[in-house]
A and B are shown apart, each in its own frame.
Chain A
Amino acid sequence: DQQVKQNSPSLSVQEGRISILNCDYTNSMFDYFLWYKKYPAEGPTFLISISSIKDKNEDGRFTVFLNKSAKHLSLHIVPSQPGDSAVYFCAASAQTGANNLFFGTGTRLTVIP
């Protein structure tokens, strides 16, 4: 059973508007969460992370929000740009080490110019 779920396979947003990508998890022991971005024909690249001691982490246009009680995190991109069009994966772990990372299936974001 998947411990990290991204229930929206795709999302389309107009340029300049906000993109909100969602991720749900089932394991309450997860304490560290990451978002990766993947362009076609490229490997995933790290985008932003958040520790469970925080509920928000911001990096430029990207903000990740964590709601531990709901076991939910979201990635906000404001303003969205066409270059943000990619597949976004969330990942979570309960222990250190990439071998303890659980990934979602990804959400394909399309930003329409």
Chain B
Amino acid sequence: ETGVTQTPRHLVMGMTNKKSLKCEQHLGHNAMYWYKQSAKKPLELMFVYNFKEQTENNSVPSRFSPECPNSSHLFLHLHTLQPEDSALYLCASSQGVTSRELFFGEGSRLTVL
């Protein structure tokens, strides 16, 4: 088992679709994160969860809806997305929310048509 796994690896969706990205970590970490990576832009932090509780939402539009049912699983529910939301979405975990060392998944490449 790799440390942080993400599914699906690739997703193509229309603007009216509803889909979800899934992340699972096998590292026993307590904090989980969603990042967005767009071409030629720095990684953008979207959401932070600590012990299943959301501790940060970086002004992310409501068409992105995170869910963290337990410390090992994190979802990103997507609905009525825009083409500019096409990007690589990276999940990460860390031992605690004060840790600065992140462990990333492989990412989910999202294309919105």
Contacts and interface: CB of A to CB of B under 8 A. Distances in A.
Report whether chain A binds chain B: yes
Interface of A: 2, 4, 9, 32, 34, 36, 41-46, 49, 89, 93, 96-105
A34 B103 CA distance: 13
B90 A44 contact: yes
Given A99-B55, A104-B42, A105-B41, A46 B102 contact: yes
A34 B100 contact: yes
Closest 3 pairs between A and B when the two form their complex, measured CB to CB: A43-B104, A96-B98, A103-B43
Given A34-B100, A98-B100, A43 B105 contact: yes
Contact of B100 (A9, A32, A105): A32
A43 B42 contact: no
Contacts of A49: 100-101
A102 B43 CA distance: 8
B53 interface: no
Contacts, number: 67
Contacts of B55: 99
Interface string B37-64: 0001111010010000001100000000
B33 to A, nearest CB: 6
Given A98-B48, A103-B43, A104-B42, 14 more contacts: A4-B42, A36-B104, A41-B106, A42-B106, A43-B92, A44-B104, A45-B103, A45-B104, A49-B100, A93-B100, A96-B99, A98-B33, A98-B45, A99-B56
Contact of B4 (A4, A34, A41, A43): A43
A45 B41 CA distance: 18
Contacts of B102: 36, 44, 46, 98, 101
